[in-house]
Amino acid sequence: MKKYFKPAALLVLLVMICSVFSSCNALDEMRKSHAFWNNEDKTEILYNGEVYKKLSGSEDFLITDHIGYSNGYAYVTEKDVPLLLSDLLGTWIDIYHDGKLLQVGYQDSYYLESEYDEYLEKIKNTKFDKFRVFNSFSEKYELLSDEDSQIIIDIITQSEIVEITNYDFVYLGEIWRCDADMYFVSEKFELLKDPDGYYLGIGYTEYCYKVPEEMTERFEKIAKAYFIDWYYE
């Protein structure tokens, strides 16, 4: 037994020494998705060597890229949180716009500091005067024509708001108020249907606009053009 002790101890020592100089791919990957709060009031994030600044009032709108085009994810923690606890103690970040935009949680957005002012300017000058839909057939976002957009505006301005109490509603799809480039979106409307007709659900609330009978035909054209009608499938 004793004669094996020295070679065994030597082998252990050798492995230990080599271990100091070797790296681990899994840890490197984790390191890539570990971001840090850059200041105490959490208005800045340090990620991948770049500083990201919080978009003030970013909770008032959602950005197109937020929906379905995430470039990856990361976790943001305080600077002293060890790597292995980053996912446990950190807050989830979705990365958008080729790594320029970070969305933390569901509301707060942070933009790359070097392009922050330019981006902010773009937001300020944005006019949400168009509507876009996710076409269920082509599986792409499409801008509604001016004529179709006007129907939506007419419904919003002219029809009564009712509470969603009927569980026979069938969800057909979503319509978003957006800018002409479909880059920014603001309000979300859900297209609902029941035996009595069509409804436009308001965002994440329990209320909706009931599509008036005189507009139903025009509205149905939009519904049939963009959404698979699960109601009669």
Partner 1 sequence: MVKKLIKHEMLFYLRTLLPAELILLGMALLVRFVQFFESDAVIYDIVAISSIVTYVIAIIVCVVMMFITGLTRFYKNLYTAEGYLSFTLPVTHSGHIFSKLFSAVAVSLITALVIGVSLAIATAGEVFSEIVKAGNYLFKMLFDYTGVHGVLFIIEFIVLVIVSLSTGYLLYYTCITAGQMAKKNRVLAAFGIYFGYYFVCQTIGTFFMIMTAIFNEPIARLMENIGLFAETHPIATVHIFFISVIIFDAIIGGVYYFLTHLIMKKRLNLE
Angle of helix 146-158 versus helix 213-226 axis, rounded to 10: 140
Q: Which of 23, 125, 157, 165 binds partner 1 (CB under 8 A)?
A: 23
Which residues contact residue 137 at a Cβ distance below 8 angstroms, ignoring those fewer than 6 apart?
226, 228
> Considering beta carbons, is residue 23 or 138 the nearer one to partner 1?
23
State how far the alpha carbon of 223 is from the alpha carbons of 108, 141, 175, 226, in Å. Answer: 32, 14, 10, 6
- The yes or no reply on residue 24 touching partner 1 (CB under 8 A) is yes
Q: Which of 27, 153, 161, 228 binds partner 1 (CB under 8 A)?
A: 27
Question: Which one of the spans 19-27, 48-56, 111-119, 193-201 is the region binding partner 1 (CB under 8 A)?
Answer: 19-27
Amino acid at 98: D
Q: Which of 81, 143, 170, 215 binds partner 1 (CB under 8 A)?
A: 81
- The yes or no reply on residue 6 touching partner 1 (CB under 8 A) is no
> Considering beta carbons, is residue 16 or 233 the nearer one to partner 1?
16
Q: Is 42 left (phi over 0), alpha (psi -120 to 50) or beta?
A: left
Question: Which one of the spans 10-18, 135-143, 151-159, 224-232 is the region binding partner 1 (CB under 8 A)?
Answer: 10-18
Say how far apart CA 216 and CA 50 lie, in whole Å. 51
- The yes or no reply on residue 91 touching partner 1 (CB under 8 A) is no
Q: Could you tell me the smallest distance in angstroms from the CB atom of residue 36 to partner 1?
A: 14
Cα 150–chain centre separation: 27
- The yes or no reply on residue 98 touching partner 1 (CB under 8 A) is no
- The yes or no reply on residue 5 touching partner 1 (CB under 8 A) is no
Residue numbers 158-187 binding partner 1 by CB under 8 A: none
Say how far apart CA 218 and CA 225 lie, in whole Å. 11
Half-sphere exposure at residue 194, Cβ-oriented, CA atoms within 13 angstroms: 13
- The yes or no reply on residue 15 touching partner 1 (CB under 8 A) is yes
Q: Which residues bind partner 1 (CB under 8 A)?
A: 11-12, 15-16, 18-20, 22-25, 27, 80-85
